[in-house]
Chain A
Amino acid sequence: MTFKELFRLSHREFTVYKTRSRATIVTIGILFGVLLAALLIFQGLENTTLKYAKDATNGEVYLASSYDKASLVSDRIQKFGGVVATLNDEQKAEIGEEIPESVIIAKFSSLDKAYEYYSKSDKKDLHYNSDDYQIVELFSNQIGVYKYFRDKNKDFIRPISLVLVAVSAFILAFTMAHLIASSTKTFVLYRSIGASKGQLLLIYFAYLLELCVWAAIFAIALALVLAGIATAVCWKQLLIQLATIYPSAPNFWPILIGVNLQCVEVILCMFLAAPVSFLLCLDQFSSKKIAQKLKGD
């Protein structure tokens, strides 16, 4: 059986059970579409805010650090790719207060590296007290924005996406079980005309994949529409707020649509639901079950 023939046979299931197939696509599409929209909007907001924050300091991150051992601070700045910087008069004026001599100013050109330095994840290795090691960002709050979105992702988006995957797998499994229950005659027919058990499994697996592909397309379209609506509704208010927070940054139209790896993960999760739900229904393909159902028909 070629792939073309396989997909023709699986597509037959799709067309025969059109209403149920469409209902499944819409249900799963909405579940994942809303999640994807949230991701797109969050990432779009993060991109926009970070861009404003970066523009305020020409893409550089300034961190003021203080600790008892100045050499440790210098070593850490170097370790994370930063340099010890001296502020010019204009910068000092912007801060508006005298900086003590014990405070070391670090300049990073990479936000990721700056965040690594800021998060103090090496405190156990280097045996220092993180509570006494003070770090404050100057001129902008790129670290704060970065941390905020990172925490929201960890605490909010990820758990929801896991729940949605489980729910969609359940819906898919339910649809499959229903489909299999109503496909007994087709099973018996295919088996009796020489389809192997593997071929039967492939046909129904391909059907499930087709459902997932359409659900993914639906979810992406829905997410883009929702994120577009969010942009249209919020952009004016957002523009005012960003301009207030970052007065030195040049204004640009904020777009609340941003793509990140997590969006890809969510799409992949949809396809992960297919084999998971398929495994739940695997026993339905046994010859014994088919014979039992044949009698029940």
Chain B
Amino acid sequence: MTREDALAAITKALTTTVGDIDGTISEDTNLVDDGMLDSLDSMTFLFELETDLGMKLEAIDETYEDFRVGSIVDIVVAATA
């Protein structure tokens, strides 16, 4: 999966989780720090992302805290390589 594809999958999971989002997200967006997801939403987001990808993202364990989009793109690209 390319970075663009990963970003599209993340955007889709985000939209499913919180509804329509204002503007677009970039790899610099931090989904939690920028207020797009609270801790409950972050679980739904990860569930939707993993469901859409059809795989468990092993790099995102229970202690994972980095919700910068670029970091999640890195994980998705690596997991789908």
Q: Do A and B bind?
A: no
Mark B residues whose CB is within 8 Å of A. none
